[in-house]
Structure 1
Amino acid sequence: MIAVVWSAAVSLAAWLWLLLLQGFFWRTDVRLPPRRDPDAWPTVCVVVPARDEAAVLPDSLPSLLAQDYPGRAEVFLVDDGSTDGTGDLARELARGRGGLPLTVSSPGEPPAGWTGKLWAVRHGIALARAREPEYLLLTDADIAHAPDSLRTLVAAARTGGFDAVSQMAHLRVASVWERLVVPAFVYFFAQLYPFRWIARRGSRTAAAAGGCVLLRAETAERARIPDAIRHAVIDDVALARAVKRGGGHIWLGLADRVDSVRRYPRLGDLWRMVARSAYAQLRHNPLLLAGTVLGLALVYLVPPVALVAGAVAGSAAGAVLGGSAWLVMAGTYLPMLRYYRQPLWLAPLLPFTAFLYLLMTVDSAVRHYRGRGAAWKGRTYARPDAVADEV
């Protein structure tokens, strides 16, 4: 019990640190900053990389074409080698609809050293440059936008002087597994990249949500985006870091009316989504993997274990310390559950969800060493240093 008590004490100290000193990551009030309409609305080009997205396009693409934007805007959907008729469906959805003009194009297979998505983004940006846009909206094919989404993003960027404004789309939460895993995914992301720190000038914390990034075209060119991050599996974080390294000012927050329409009904669907990039997040480093596993166990698993073990063994210290850490953990999770309109009794189940993420992370490493890491829609990407050697 001595080891359990000390572990619970360290876990409680960690949770008090996270509660007070980790950028108040647990708060969900970081929404689009104050904004005012500009005197003249700049030209914007929307770039949508799409690979085998026929199932979600009817729910997402019409929302882009129907944007109520006062300035000039155009949508470029880049069909990244789809086999399900994504490009033809996009043209059909735009035919006779009106709204923003749509261009559908395909860049062919990506060369060595490029992920498919970023190769598609590069192609879309190249097409957009002919329109001389001031801003680029990079958005995924499974993201549906409210009619005023583009104008509010532009107004926020102009008012705040931001080079990149990104909103984390509201993910679908309907199935049992989505309820357990999805809010925690956003919670863990905010814990790693506190939104308040991202917007601070001079802060080293940089992140974006790839589903919705409004990027100043001049900034993209100066930061060599996407060429500078062409091999990145976690491309949104890599993009934000590239912008910040170039002196850019970025903002990231939660969305109110930007929604992901992609379904993850089964645990296996969510597992593949997380395992695809978890080990890449750790830079394919075994030591970082070991530290992450130990950290997750200490912070998330020790509190309930200490509470139960203390109660069984009659150790008041173990039970109190473990219960207190578990209480703080659950309390920090409540705002995210409210944001996703989920029952609050899910908060005490966060250790179980964290255990799932621990297993997903380990599985991500196993897949990597078996040559199946970062696999997505028929493609498997090598780690960056291997790509560099090949090039």
Structure 2
Amino acid sequence: MGQTARVSAVSWIAALSLAAWLWLLLGQGFFWRTDVRLPPRELPGAWPDVCVVVPARDEAAVLPASLPSLLAQDYPGRAEVFLVDDGSSDGTGDLARALARRHGGLPLTVSSPGEPPAGWTGKLWAVRHGVGLARARAPEYLLLTDADIAHAPDSLRQLVAAAHTGGLDVVSQMARLRVASAWERLVVPAFVYFFAQLYPFRWIGRSGTRTAAAAGGCVLLRTEAAERARIPDAIRHAVIDDVALARAVKRGGGRVWLGLADRVDSVRPYPRLHDLWRMVARSAYAQLRHNPLVLAGTVAGLTLVYLVPPLAVVVGPAAGSPAAAGFGAAAWLMMAGTYVPMLRYYRQPLWLAPLLPFTAFLYLLMTVDSAVQHYRGRGAAWKGRTYARPDAVPDEG
């Protein structure tokens, strides 16, 4: 009787995992597809003014590969770059000025806002300072981009054309992250895959839905929408500021679009597992609203969806349940199949697809570690600053 119960339990768990994958495949906004790119674009009759705001803290290592690409934007209208040196100790501001003198291009203003006051994250305090300077030029659009993002020469032009054509208040592209080391190949495509699973790009672009997200490395924001949503003041304590920005804009009636980039790339290296671990763990628990019950549900969900299929393939025959092995194999095959488009987007070998359960297990550990660091008072530590217990972003509680 006990053996039969165990076999039945293994089979039911494997079947539940397969059912979850069937739902994810068909009912989660086709998150696994990678064809959400910049929407159709028409050239404006008159190109609007744009100000580019770049928050930068200790970015001297990546600026030579990123800042010249911004200064070299082939934009028909008036555009200007504001780099905000957020208390760097590596000469970021001086290097930015030297690069502007060497490469020319769009006008560059380098400034520093000083240390952020209580209740502000450093990045958003820098963004607030840059946006304040930009508003003196009365631009129609703001491009918020990170210091490690390299843009193709027509990037700004294409973003503005997409926003103009679609009447969009936010046009955001998820920059193609660097994939060079073995750990980057294993972890980075999965990072974007998991993000799209949480925030299906097709749902983000629909009016009337609550799903909203942006990718902080490249966000074109209509100035009027920013003022209406009180950006960045309304999200000043947000650790995951890009998602918070999109939610604030959409909550205020704005239209938001997010998709994958073709010619916007991150130049920041994450060569070691430790580097990738810190990138994920610093904000993973904030994503779960610092809620232990949500954490427990997330761990259970990751286990059911990603770890049960390969375990069922191994444990099923040993437990005398070929049905469990069959369910697990079908779920594993479905999982790997949905991962293939992302691997192709990142130009990675397809044999990495069956390894997704192992990568998911790493993300599970990173998420748990994020919670542990939070309760130790270390919170979202990044570049010498620690946000021990940041308040929940509005609409996240």
Which TM-score applies when normalising by structure 2?
0.96
3-state secondary structure, aligned to 1:77: strand
Query: What number of residue pairs does the alignment pair up?
Result: 388
Q: d(CA) in 2 for partners of 1:3 and 1:330? A: 25
Q: Deviations over 1:210-234 (max 9, x none)?
A: 0000000011011000000000000
Question: For 2:386, which of 380, 385, 390 is the aligned residue?
Answer: 380
Equivalent residue for 2:34? Answer: 28
Equivalent residue for 2:280? Answer: 274
Question: For 1:95, which of 101, 120, 124 is the aligned residue?
Answer: 101
Question: For 1:130, which of 94, 118, 136 is the aligned residue?
Answer: 136
- Asked if the contact 2:238/2:392 (under 8 Å) is kept, the reply is no
The residue identity in structure 2 corresponding to 1:282 is: L
Equivalent residue for 1:45? Answer: 51
- Asked if the contact 2:238/2:393 (under 8 Å) is kept, the reply is no
Structural mapping, 1:326-365, within 5 Å: 326-365=332-371
The residue identity in structure 2 corresponding to 1:47 is: V
Equivalent residue for 1:309? Answer: 315
The residue identity in structure 2 corresponding to 1:251 is: W
Q: d(CA) in 2 for partners of 1:122 and 1:78? A: 10
Deviation of 1:313 (Å): 3.4
1:5 maps onto 2:42 in alignment: no
Equivalent residue for 1:258? Answer: 264
Deviation of 1:3 (Å): 1.8
Deviation of 1:386 (Å): 9.0
The residue identity in structure 2 corresponding to 1:350 is: L
Q: Where do 5+ consecutive residues of structure 1 fail to align? A: none
Q: d(CA) in 2 for partners of 1:291 and 1:309? A: 24
Q: Deviations over 1:41-84 (max 9, x none)?
A: 00000000000000000000000000000000000000000000
1:369 maps onto 2:372 in alignment: no
Equivalent residue for 2:292? Answer: 286
Q: d(CA) in 1 for partners of 2:114 and 2:216? A: 22
3-state secondary structure, aligned to 1:341: coil
Equivalent residue for 2:3? Answer: none
Q: d(CA) in 2 for partners of 1:220 and 1:313? A: 58
3-state secondary structure, aligned to 2:144: strand
Structural mapping, 1:109-124, within 5 Å: 109-124=115-130
Question: For 1:249, which of 255, 259, 262 is the aligned residue?
Answer: 255
Q: d(CA) in 2 for partners of 1:385 and 1:317? A: 47
- Asked if the contact 1:303/1:323 (under 8 Å) is kept, the reply is yes
* Residues 297, 53 of structure 1: alpha-carbon distance in 2 compared, 3 angstrom cutoff: same
Q: d(CA) in 2 for partners of 1:317 and 1:189? A: 32
* Residues 254, 386 of structure 1: alpha-carbon distance in 2 compared, 3 angstrom cutoff: closer
Q: d(CA) in 2 for partners of 1:175 and 1:131? A: 42
Equivalent residue for 2:302? Answer: 296
- Asked if the contact 1:280/1:383 (under 8 Å) is kept, the reply is no
The residue identity in structure 1 corresponding to 2:165 is: T
Deviation of 1:173 (Å): 0.3
Q: Deviations over 1:158-212 (max 9, x none)?
A: 0000000000000000101000100000000000000000000101100000000
Question: For 1:318, which of 305, 314, 324 is the aligned residue?
Answer: 324
1:197 maps onto 2:228 in alignment: no
Equivalent residue for 2:4? Answer: none
Equivalent residue for 1:221? Answer: 227
Identify which range, 312-321 or 266-275, moves more after superposition: 312-321
Question: For 2:112, which of 102, 106, 117 is the aligned residue?
Answer: 106
The residue identity in structure 2 corresponding to 1:167 is: Q
- Asked if the contact 1:113/1:387 (under 8 Å) is kept, the reply is no
Q: Identity of counterpart residues, as a percentage?
A: 87
- Asked if the contact 2:142/2:220 (under 8 Å) is kept, the reply is yes
* Residues 13, 143 of structure 1: alpha-carbon distance in 2 compared, 3 angstrom cutoff: same
Q: d(CA) in 1 for partners of 2:392 and 2:175? A: 32
Q: d(CA) in 1 for partners of 2:168 and 2:222? A: 8
Deviation of 1:387 (Å): 11
Q: d(CA) in 2 for partners of 1:357 and 1:4? A: 24
1:236 maps onto 2:242 in alignment: yes
Deviation of 1:385 (Å): 3.6
3-state secondary structure, aligned to 2:103: coil
1:172 maps onto 2:178 in alignment: yes
The residue identity in structure 2 corresponding to 1:358 is: L
Deviation of 1:310 (Å): 1.4
The residue identity in structure 2 corresponding to 1:171 is: L
1:144 maps onto 2:117 in alignment: no
- Asked if the contact 1:30/1:195 (under 8 Å) is kept, the reply is yes
Q: Deviations over 1:16-39 (max 9, x none)?
A: 000001000000000000001100
Q: d(CA) in 2 for partners of 1:310 and 1:70? A: 63
Deviation of 1:96 (Å): 4.0
3-state secondary structure, aligned to 1:32: coil
The residue identity in structure 1 corresponding to 2:358 is: F
Equivalent residue for 1:76? Answer: 82
Which TM-score applies when normalising by structure 1?
0.98
The residue identity in structure 2 corresponding to 1:249 is: R
- Asked if the contact 1:112/1:387 (under 8 Å) is kept, the reply is no
Deviation of 1:373 (Å): 1.2
Equivalent residue for 2:67? Answer: 61
